[in-house]
């Protein structure tokens, strides 16, 4: 089973929520499992896209209440770890897709790259201005379709 992490802001504009929904839909259509933070914004839209297309959704929650997950999470995991739960999302994922986001998303991207996990970014942080970035780990995509195409390359080993 392939686990795809979707990371992004708990607050996002309509454009990025639509992108997240499409990413979630494509994750489900490929038979992959969606892993996210389980709350609002990008996380909820991606989970909704997967859920409405018969996908499996896992929410790694920052708090201790599994009922705090959005309604599209089939399997809520309450951690009580706050933002440290980001590492569980990352370690559980085979590849990650970052959509928009703020500092929490930047934290997840940075940790992912440090842990040698591939990240595909859509409308997210521009790391080429931050210093040396491993081009074998960080990719930018313009559309959900392009992000899924990049993910497939690595998931299928091509």
CATH (domain of 91): 3.40.50.450
Percent of the chain surpassing pLDDT 70: 99
* Residue 44, domain extent: 3-155
Calculate the alpha carbon distances from 17 to 21, 30, 43, 54, 61 in Å. Answer: 6, 20, 9, 19, 19
Over residues 102-158, the pLDDT tens digits come to 999 999 999 999 999 999 999 998 877 777 788 889 999 999 999 999 999 999 875
Residue 156's pLDDT is: 82
Report how many domains make up the chain.
1
Element containing residue 35 per DSSP (H, E): strand 33-36
pLDDT confidence of 51, banded at 50, 70, 90?
A: very high
């Amino acid at each position: 089973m392939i686990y795809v992490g979707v990371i992004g802001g708990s607050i996002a504009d309509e454009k990025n929520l639509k992108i997240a929904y499409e990413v979630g839909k494509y994750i489900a259509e490929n038979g992959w499992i969606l892993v996210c933070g389980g709350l609002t914004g990008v996380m909820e839209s991606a989970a909704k896209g997967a859920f409405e297309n018969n996908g499996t959704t896992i929410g790694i929650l920052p708090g201790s209440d599994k009922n705090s997950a959005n309604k599209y999470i089939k399997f809520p995991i309450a951690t009580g770890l706050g933002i440290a739960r980001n590492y569980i999302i990352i370690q559980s994922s085979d590849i990650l897709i970052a959509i928009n986001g703020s500092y929490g998303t930047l934290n997840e991207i940075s940790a992912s790259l440090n842990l040698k996990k591939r990240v595909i970014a859509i409308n997210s942080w521009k790391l080429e201005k931050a210093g040396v970035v491993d081009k074998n780990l960080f990719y930018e995509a313009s559309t959900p379709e392009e992000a899924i195409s990049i993910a497939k390359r690595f998931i299928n080993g091509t």
